[in-house]
Amino acid sequence: MTRKVKIWKGIWLALAILNLCYGIMVYLVGSGTNSFLIWAVLAVVCFYLFWRTGTGVWTKKPLGLKVLISVMLCVILNVFLLCQAAILSGMFQHGQPDLDYIIVLGAQMRDSGPSIVFRYRLDEAYAYLQENPNTVCIVTGGQGSNEPISEGEGGKAYLVAKGISENRILTETVSTTTKENLENTLPLLVGDVLEKEQKIPNDLKIGIVTNNYHVFRGVTLAERALLVKDKEVKPVTSVGDTMEPVTVNSRNWVIKGIAAYMQPRFLSNNMVRETFGILKDLI
């Protein structure tokens, strides 16, 4: 076995062990997702490459097949890097003062209260609401099969317990995805505006509060869901009553990202998982 082969086998073995250990750590957190499987698959791939390195399998492949595989890997790598660059572009956004509304994207509720990920989002929203007393907060998220209460109601209770007035918090409680969070928020937002102003302004300013790795996707989906042209919307009041349909033209609304904290040791997992979310949204 040559020195070069030994080095590569060592690299693949180290990567396999690291991916396996990281996947186990992600699994033990019990986040409610299956993202740990990404790291399990990567560990298997690295173990396979460790096993096959130095056996001459690659050199025996036809040239055309080697070129095809190489091109495919380059495309996959470039798509991944582009998605990571997009994610990074949103990780340091902090909105702007005096937004009319902030929308907190829901995350898992536990028996003990909001999960750590959700709590980071709510704490960021709390800090913003403290500094901007005229801003209204919309907390979004329905109730999953493993949740004791809807994310919207649980998030509201958390903010109220910290001292934010109930009158400043609206809740969306039926959505199951980020896309639905935002689509279902539009009728609530329009209803609240009409209750206060009797007309829909052209210059609303809205902030999307979510963890740093999720800001790019959250803002992108918000722009699709909230910036509409001549769309008929059935406004919903703060007490849940449906109003007469109105035509909404919100192309000039401003949407900003507000990045909440995320534990660094889980950033790799969340950023890789977010790549799949971005690609899914493009389909």
> pLDDT per residue over 103-156, tens digit each?
999 999 999 999 999 999 999 999 999 999 999 999 999 998 889 999 999 999
Supply 96's token pair.
């702007």
Amino acid at 144: G
pLDDT at site 63: 87
pLDDT at site 124: 98
Percentage with pLDDT > 90 across the chain = 78
Supply 51's token pair.
């096993």
List pLDDT tens digits, range 17-72.
Answer: 999 999 999 998 876 678 899 999 999 999 999 998 888 888 888 888 889 999 99
pLDDT at site 239: 78
Amino acid at 282: L
The CATH number, out of the four listed (3.40.50.620, 3.30.1330.20, 3.40.190.90, 3.40.50.300), of the domain defined by the range 101-282: 3.40.50.620
pLDDT at site 199: 84
CA angle 223, 162, 143 (to 5 degrees): 55
Are the C-beta atoms of 124 and 159 separated by less than 8 Å?
no
Q: Which value, to the nearest 10 degrees, does the dihedral of the CA atoms of residues 210, 215, 220, 226 take? A: 30
Segments making up each domain of the chain, as ranges: 1-60, 101-282
Residue 23 has phi, psi (to 5 degrees) of: -60, -40
State yes or no: pLDDT of 2 exceeds 90: no
Are the C-beta atoms of 150 and 109 separated by less than 8 Å?
yes
What is the pLDDT averaged over residues 197-212? 92
Q: Which helix (H) or strand (E) holds 149?
A: none
pLDDT at site 31: 66
pLDDT at site 32: 63
What is the pLDDT averaged over residues 73-82? 96
DSSP of 39-56? HHHHHHHHHHHHHHTTSS
Please give the mean pLDDT across all residues of the chain.
93
Supply 259's token pair.
């990045």
| Whole-number Å distance between alpha carbons of 52 and 58 | 9
Q: Helices marked H in 91-150 — which ranges?
A: 116-131
**Full-model pTM:** 0.89
Residue with tokens 């192309």: 251
The more confidently predicted of residues 239 and 174 is 174
Are the C-beta atoms of 44 and 23 separated by less than 8 Å?
no
